[in-house]
Structures are given as structure tokens and as C-alpha cells.
Amino acid sequence: MLENYLPVLLFVLVGLAFGVVPFALGRVLGPHRPDGEKLSAYECGFEAFEDARMKFDVRYYLIAILFILFDLEIAFLFPWATVFQEFIAAGAAAWFVFGSVMTFLAILIIGYIAEWKNGALDWE
């Protein structure tokens, strides 16, 4: 029974080795000369002047969510585009599939226009 788990154990050990051995080799073989400049926090080349835990504007999150939403909706078009040739070869189903995707795109465009008109994409 336990011999069935040997390949899993070997897989885990090899995976850990691939993850840990490069770090260990870099630590042992690499130069280690710390100084104050290297140990300081990197803030785009200048000293930090505000708290790192400052609150972000809600509009930042709104733009990010809208980007993810439209990005995922556009990702639905790629599988459709790859198999649409097969629907054309099938005949009657091609117009239904084409119409459904055009309806999907129309809803997507209406949503985009509504967001644009409501000012969700404006950054002041």
C-alpha cells in the first residue's frame, strides 16, 4: 500500500529541491556584503515621505474591477473564435451562434458606454 505513494513522495522531494537548492546555493556561494544602502527600503530611488499603509482612492479599485470585468468578457471570445469555423461547416447553427455572440458584444458595449457616461472611467 505504501509503495503506491513513493512516486508522490519523490515528486514532492524533487519539487522542494528545485525550490530550495538554488536559494541555498546563492546564499552559500554568493557574495554577502550588506551595508546601510542595501538594507534600506527601496522606494523608487528616493526616501519614503509618507506612511506605506495609506488609503487608496476608491476609484483605483473601481478602474481595476472594470478592467478585470472587461478583460474576462473579452476572453470568452477567443474560444468562440476558434470553433466558429466548425459551426459554419455545420450549417444552420452558425447563425444562432453568431447572433448570440453579437448579443453578448452588444450588452458588453452598452455596459461600457453606460460606465463611460456615468464617469466611472474618469480620473480627476
Q: Could you tell me the domains of the chain? A: 2-118 (1.20.58.1610)
Question: Could you tell me the maximum CA-CA distance found in the chain, to the nearest angstrom?
Answer: 72
pLDDT in tens, 74-103: 888 888 888 888 888 877 677 888 888 899
Confidence of residue 52 (pLDDT cuts 50, 70, 90): low
C-alpha cell at 100: 448570440
Q: What is the 3-state secondary structure (H, E, C) of the chain?
A: CHHHHHHHHHHHHHHHHHHHHHHHHHHHHCCCCCCHHHHCCCCCCCCCCCCCCCCCCHHHHHHHHHHHHHHHHHHCHHHHHHHHHHHHHHCCHHHHHHHHHHHHHHHHHHHHHHHHHHCCCCCC
Place of cell 542595501: 38
Please, what is the average pLDDT of the chain? 83
Place of cell 476608491: 58
**13-17, 45-49, 64-68 — which is least confidently predicted?**
45-49
